Amino acid sequence: AQSVTQLGSHVSVSEGALVLLRCNYSSSVPPYLFWYVQYPNQRLQLLLKYTSAATLVKGINGFEAEFKKSETSFHLTKPSAHMSDAAEYFCAVSASNSGGYQKVTFGTGTKLQVIP
């Protein structure tokens, strides 16, 4: 079984401030981890993904996330928020299930508001 917990359904930051969106996962097998973003009126798109190559993963638009196995976390960060970062962010975990295929489980999402 696998699950994802995103702490904070809404996060507000000032423009230029650090963005930190939290994600903790649970998986009985080594997982792959993803962050997806949904900008207003747009479809879900991949922001970045962890595939066991490197624990610090860089994505689009200056975002990055660090896989910490000991903490079962995959928090998303950006040093300086921009107004265009306002969106909903979803953490997801992918792991092999008993049927042998990769099942993807999404978190409940965090809406990021950027205050000018």
Partner 1 sequence: DTGVSQDPRHKITKRGQNVTFRCDPISEHNRLYWYRQTLGQGPEFLTYFQNEAQLEKSRLLSDRFSAERPKGSFSTLEIQRTEQGDSAMYLCASRTGTGGTETQYFGPGTRLLVL
**Position 35 contacts partner 1 (CB under 8 A):** no
Of 93-112, binders to partner 1 (CB under 8 A) are 94-97, 99, 101-109
Around Cβ 54, how many Cβ atoms within 10 Å? 10
From 17-25, 32-40, 64-72, 73-81, span contacting partner 1 (CB under 8 A): 32-40
DSSP SS3 for 21: strand
Nearer to partner 1 by C-beta: 13 or 107?
A: 107
Nearer to partner 1, 18 or 104 (CB): 104
**Of 44-63, which residues contact partner 1 (CB under 8 A)?**
44-46, 49, 51
> Are residues 59 and 50 in contact, defined by beta-carbon separation less than 8 angstroms?
no
Under 8 Å between Cβ of 30 and 52: yes
Structure tokens at 72: 């079962």
